[in-house]
Amino acid sequence: MSTLTAFEAVSRLGSVTAAAAELNLTQSAVSRQIQRLEEQLGSALFERQRKRLILTAHGARYAEEIRAALHQINSATVALQANPDGGALNLAILPSFGTHWLAPKLPGFFAGNPGVTLNMSTRLEPFDFAFESFHAAIHYGRKRWPGTESLRLLDEHMVAVASPDLARDEGVQGLPRLSLQTRPYAWEEWSKVNGWPETTRPSMMFDQFATMMRAAQSGLGVALMPDYLVDVEIARGTLVELEGACRVGMGAYLLVWPEGAGGYPPLAALRHWLEGTMEA
């Protein structure tokens, strides 16, 4: 660890002197650490140019991976110091689902699990758990995420909605269609179920449901939205569901985690709580 720490500092600072000062070591001690590491790897990590050390291509790739690993170790240490009786759970979430479905329910989780620290970050697409520091993720889809286990949380039904004025003033089938980047075939599937013709009218593209919902409320077009997001807005009258159109199920939200990692106590606590929440 001391060798890798010395390498990371020199690679970041570009100087043995600066790294030695940061690590409170002598320059010769840091130099020996770098020499020892290069001998163990059988590869040069730096090019010596005058008084500076420049990373080789191999060294640059190695430094990036080592830096991420040291950061993860440091995060685990900080989490243990801050919460020795619980644990940290790093959860990747989808922005709209996390904001509108998960977050309002979390006080119930923390009431029963006061020792758990929950860290949430947004990820819109599946990723490789081996290269991310997440313990679990909220995933939408119908296909299995390779290398994971899962808990089904909520089936999603898509609702076609528009502003009251737009739905009243124009023929609904001629409205511009607002689309989500991560659901490129949603309109095609919805139209087949509802018997709508294919449209040639241009549509706007969005990366998040929340932005698309605001666009629909502003009268920019008709949007396909998850029922859990728009039922409240329909009740308030800021959006209307298109008359004669049925809701279409297209997928589900799942909690996913790496195979064999479900026993991690904070993750097991979250799974148990979610199971109870869904039953209720």
| pLDDT tens digits for range 226-249 | 998 999 999 999 999 988 889 999
Q: What is the per-residue pLDDT across 238-279, written as a single tens digit (0 to 9) for each?
A: 999 988 889 999 889 999 999 988 888 899 999 999 999 888
The mean pLDDT of the chain is: 87
**Token match 């179920």: residue?**
193
Q: What is the per-residue pLDDT across 177-197, written as a single tens digit (0 to 9) for each?
A: 899 888 888 888 898 998 887
Q: Are the beta carbons of 113 and 273 closer than 8 angstroms? A: yes
Predicted confidence (pLDDT) at residue 218 exceeds the cutoff of 90: yes
- Is 118 in the same domain as 165? yes
- Is 6 in the same domain as 137? no
Q: What is the mean pLDDT of residues 197-207?
A: 73
Predicted confidence (pLDDT) at residue 169 exceeds the cutoff of 70: no
- Is 51 in the same domain as 106? no
CB-CB neighbours of 215 under 10 Å: 17
Domain count across the chain: 2
Q: Would you state the pLDDT for residue 172?
A: 67
- Boundaries of domain holding 160: 88-280
- Is 203 in the same domain as 64? no
- pTM here? 0.63
**Which residue in 207, 232, 227 sits closest to 122, CA to CA?**
207
Q: What is the per-residue pLDDT across 93-116, written as a single tens digit (0 to 9) for each?
A: 998 899 889 999 999 999 998 888
- Is 117 in the same domain as 232? yes
- Is 73 in the same domain as 110? no
Calpha distance 161→165 (Å, rounded): 12
